[in-house]
A and B are shown apart, each in its own frame.
Chain A
């Protein structure tokens, strides 16, 4: 079979103040018609640069194709030299013969144009269609991507659509001219897992129906396993390994691929294991030894955190007088307990209230009602002074290690800050203590005088954990603490967190959307939906035997890093999440639960 796209010894350079920097080097692969090739790699591996080069869009980011050839077979059978083509030819190819889907559906649609305008512009330009014909085609495209009520959508603006619907529009735009190649650059990374499943299934169906080739860029090995025919693994701008998806997953040849695969948690692999287990790491001997040496974590059945009927509502302002016209029921009658030395994971999709729940417990946002007891003290009843003192026991680790550290302060000052806040140490003692904490999170001591931007993402998150640990808290609320990290780094940080738990008896409230990670780290799991916990209980019980329909839906949407367990063949359509906004005076029914197993509760109704 003749390849549709060939990339041969591609080299892309970026001009910087200190001379050219190589973005990718010696990259060669081919894509056949009707085939999905996944380019997978961690951040900075050059996977996006590769895909942008194929569109020659890399030039708009300051890059130049410095070497190698890129060819693309046009519909008339002629072979286009992409690297040497004129801008006019490329303009004709882009969006017409090669379609592209970007990561962020919020920003890849222009907010001031209607959906119709976004869809028809390309059709009128590339296909020379009249306005009416373009509208008819746009409507047909919306139907193809299975958007409900397509006629109404044409008149709407992007902000009126949900994230999943927006990404469907983006796909419709990319597909409108029936491209021979679809480039999807992390198309589901910003989406919830059920929407991700829908979008992946949609791409699979369109590929099958149209015989289109897909170049799929992702960092997520589970998505690769679900989507790819062939896989290109990239690292530091070079290709590490290429092969069929089965070969890569079952018989990886390179050390890097093996390490990458080992670091990926697979949902379901913890079946039959009672306690959390550390991640496997290959190539990191110290960590491996630590995994082997660590005894099963001891648990004491002593309650640390007790949350009773916690409710948090945000006002929705409206009208000329900016009066409160409705309320967002962000957290609605949530109750649970967390024992000393244990991890409770709160899982759910965006907007389900899991982050608000964590922040309400720490009173970073004020809950509307309910009680939060930590170590025999009602946090909700404390005044400002006492609350500040109580923060010693409860610390937080945030999602984005780039944003949660102040770029203008040295790390040692940021880690020392909580200690100084409570006047626990000063002078040499303070310095020693900070140095110890750096050792504890395995950051080299010479990092103490550095600024956050001098560290990698994983190192920054270690620094953020160091800051949280500085005052020996009892509870750490980890809000998506590893979501922004690459898988291998994520595994290291998770292992560190589990070690700290075993050594220091920490309790974690682990807020996450990633079911596979949760399965590994949590003792207990609470599933949140529309502000309520719909199901909560011991991890084996909840994940292996989900009883609430929402938990079942969530689990069925999680991609599994095994190419032999493909889930997303046919169209999927999950029940969309309804709005948590209720009019003023709405009386929410209390949460009542049925016990379906020991400690396993399911929301009634």
Chain B
């Protein structure tokens, strides 16, 4: 239990808890119209007592928008990454464990998807399914799947060659049981790492889709959308990008540290 309470782990847990709390509580405590309340006298105003983190081009308070946008951003990112795990994990495990023809077919499929930039892929899927939030989430999730499947496959390939897997096979264990009890726990650390990285990219991918009119639609607030919108004012009002950017960075940092803690908890050797 030593490493569980290491400073790094503690910071990770606190950060993730804080961010989750903000995501849940902010929409309950702050009236939604606060996000769109415009103060035309203070457009692109620097941080001040009135607007702690400044305002954007329409005079909206950035702090309030960051707080309110957290739920949407996190919702989209977490759901999208979960979708990619639900599809990519079994795909990669089957591919890596069984190998041979199954592996060849599945991986060529994955390679084809990998040939397209993830954002372009998400864009296409989103456009085909129709532009709404739910479809955006699905699109991002599917677009991230090949990356996860590749990593899972590599890990599964490694674990499938471990003597304990051969030992299980020699003991008459079924493939399903080997996959769930032997392979899965041993590839979990890699999945956790990949998932935390994907979460950051998912937040940004959502912004890209929103920009093209396929994700969150203004005036609703999401971190990605805010970063996107700040592009034109970066020189005059850098704080418009700074606040949502910091929110994304802190989330990723927290998740990363939290991921390490999670991995250590799951690994019996670290206790």
Contact = CB atoms under 8 A, between A and B. Distances in A.
Interface of A: 17-18, 362, 364, 388-389, 391-392, 395-396, 398-400, 403-409, 413, 417-418, 421-422, 451, 453, 464, 467-468, 470-471
B170 A388 contact: no
B7 interface: no
Contacts of A399: 163
Given A364-B169, A409-B185, A404 B174 contact: no
B168 A417 contact: yes
A421 B167 contact: no
Is chain A's binding surface mostly helix, strand, loop or mixed? loop
Interface of B: 2, 162-164, 166-174, 177, 181-182, 185-186, 266-269
A408 B168 contact: no
Contacts of B173: 417-418, 421
Contact of B174 (A388, A409, A451): A388
B186 A406 contact: yes
A526 B164 CA distance: 27
Given A403-B162, A406-B186, A417 B171 contact: yes
A520 B268 CA distance: 38
Contact of B172 (A391, A406, A464): A391
Nearest to B269: A453
Contact of A404 (B167, B186, B267): B167
Given A398-B167, A400-B163, A453 B268 contact: yes
Nearest to B3: A17
A395 B171 contact: yes
A398 B167 CA distance: 8
A362 B181 CA distance: 22
Nearest to B171: A418
A414 to B, nearest CB: 8
23 contacts: A17-B2, A364-B169, A388-B172, A391-B170, A392-B172, A395-B170, A395-B171, A396-B167, A398-B167, A404-B163, A405-B167, A407-B269, A408-B186, A408-B268, A409-B182, A417-B168, A417-B173, A418-B171, A418-B173, A421-B174, A453-B268, A468-B171, A471-B171
Contacts of A388: 172, 174
Nearest to A470: B171
Given A364-B169, A453-B269, A406 B164 contact: yes
Given A17-B2, A398-B163, A403-B162, A408 B170 contact: no
A403 B163 contact: yes
B2 A404 contact: no
Nearest to B188: A408
A362 B167 CA distance: 11
Nearest to B182: A406
Nearest to A450: B268
Given A364-B169, A404-B163, A406-B164, 11 more contacts: A398-B163, A399-B163, A404-B166, A405-B164, A406-B181, A407-B269, A408-B185, A409-B181, A421-B173, A453-B269, A468-B171
Nearest to A401: B163
A364 B166 contact: yes
Contacts of B267: 407-408
Contacts of A470: 171
A451 B268 CA distance: 7
Given A407-B269, A408-B186, A453-B268, A418 B181 contact: no
Contacts of A468: 171
Contacts of B169: 364
Contacts of B2: 17-18
A421 B269 CA distance: 26
A396 B170 contact: yes
A27 B182 CA distance: 44
B52 to A, nearest CB: 41
Contacts of A421: 171-174, 177
A422 B2 CA distance: 40
Nearest to B6: A17
Contacts of A18: 2
Q: 7 closest pairs, A vs B, by CB?
A: A391-B172, A408-B185, A451-B268, A418-B171, A404-B163, A403-B163, A396-B170
A451 B167 contact: no
A577 to B, nearest CB: 25
B262 to A, nearest CB: 14
B170 A362 contact: yes
A453 B269 CA distance: 6
A406 B166 CA distance: 11
Contacts of B268: 407-408, 451, 453
Nearest to A396: B170
B5 to A, nearest CB: 12
A477 to B, nearest CB: 8
A396 B269 CA distance: 25
A336 B2 CA distance: 55
Contacts of A404: 163-164, 166-167
B167 to A, nearest CB: 5
B100 to A, nearest CB: 13
Contacts of A364: 166, 169-170
Contacts of B269: 407, 451, 453
Nearest to B164: A406
Contacts of A405: 164, 167
A418 B269 CA distance: 24
Nearest to A464: B167
A396 B170 CA distance: 7
